[in-house]
Structure 1
Amino acid sequence: MTARDPVTRDQLPTLQPITRPVPLPPPARVWSGAEMRAIRLGLAAGQMEDRWLALVEADRLFLHRSWTGFGVYEAVFSEQPDGWRITEAWVESNSDRYRRQGDTYEALFLQMLVAGKLLGGGEPGDWEQLRSLRTPRP
């Protein structure tokens, strides 16, 4: 595995900020120092199938949809005695940009995006729990 430089805003010129941020309860997960170093690298879409872009600026993670550049999540990480925690989080509530679900769903999905997309793994049972929280569309 080779080292790479962190993704920067200059590399992702189509990014658009969240237009109607609403606060989310932060996920409870604790991230290790090694995980935080990997999170800080961000994520640039390498293929058409990649749906997410991510970058970190001053311990604030920005997650955007890759095709539109629309901001969906922001999360502030803070170092705690037991590791790194998300201490503040927001999700897009503009339904023209993102179909927001309930707070519990969105907090879990944010955690899953970080674990799955930025760290390459997830927790057993996360997808089942997420599906159980999803609000059916009319």
Structure 2
Amino acid sequence: MPDDERVIRSMFAGRLQPISVRRPMPSVPRRRWSDEDWARIQLGYCSRDMDDKWDVLVEGNVVFLYRSWTGYGIFEATFARVEEGSWRITEAVVERDQERYRNDDEEYDCVILELLLSNVVLGEAALELRAKFVELTRKASG
């Protein structure tokens, strides 16, 4: 799929499943995305091979993030323009069915949501987010 082709739900042939146990995220990424970032995010992201773990699509101002292997919905993030040239997440929902998504750490959810948008969709290195992700992963397992 070309990088400038918009990802749409029909590309997944009914394989995508909505979040089953919805929980509002108490904190969302504070980042402000530019108009250019938002335009790229709106194109979404379709996993290219078995190593890719996420599919992302946008309908209206809602970004849906799905696990690529299972089609399970994990995050939904609503974006809004906050000022000229600036967008941010105003609310988000996360999956809390432990069979679909085993995490239950709110800080981790916030970091992984921003990391997926920054790194997977926008292609940014996102080194600080990656470091925070590693720190939270170690904390959870140790």
The answer, yes or no, to whether TM exceeds 0.5 is yes
Pick aligned residue for 2:63 from 56, 61, 64:
61
Structure 2 alignment gaps of length 5 or more: none
- Correspondent of 2:51 among 46, 49, 52: 49
Q: 1:74-128: per-residue Cα shift (whole Å, max 9, x none)?
A: 0000001161000011111001001123111101110000001110014332222
The one-letter amino acid paired with 2:50 is M
Alpha carbon RMSD of aligned pairs, Å?
Answer: 1.5
SS in 2 for 1:40: helix
Distance 1:52 1:130 in 2: 16
Question: How many residues are aligned here?
Answer: 136
Structure 2 SS opposite 1:121: coil
- Counterpart among 7, 31, 34 of residue 32 in structure 1: 34
Contact 1:72 1:92 in 2 (8 A): yes
TM-score (norm 1): 0.92
Unaligned runs of 5+ in 1: none
With structure 2 as the length reference, what TM-score do the two structures score? 0.89
1:3 positional shift: 6.2
Q: What is the aligned counterpart of 1:91 among 94, 102, 122?
A: 94
8 Å contact from structure 1 (residues 27, 108) kept in 2: yes
- Report what 2:75 is aligned to: 73
* Among candidates 93, 98, 119, match of residue 116 of structure 1: 119
Q: Does the Cα contact within 8 Å between 2:96 and 2:104 map onto a contact in 1? A: no
Larger helix proportion, structure 1 or 2? Answer: 2
Determine helix, strand or coil for the equivalent of 2:133. Answer: helix
1:9 — aligned with what? 9
- Aligned-pair identity (%): 35
**Helix, strand or coil for the counterpart of 2:66?**
strand
Q: Is the 8 A contact 1:42 1:56 kept in 2?
A: yes
- Taking the aligned partners of 2:109 and 2:49, their CA distance within structure 1 comes to 25
Please say if residues 112 and 122 of structure 1, whose CA atoms lie closer than 8 Å, have aligned partners that are also in contact: no
Q: How does 1:97-112 map to 2 (within 5 A)?
A: 97-112=100-115
Asked if 2 retains the 8 angstrom alpha-carbon contact of 1:39 and 1:119, the reply is: yes
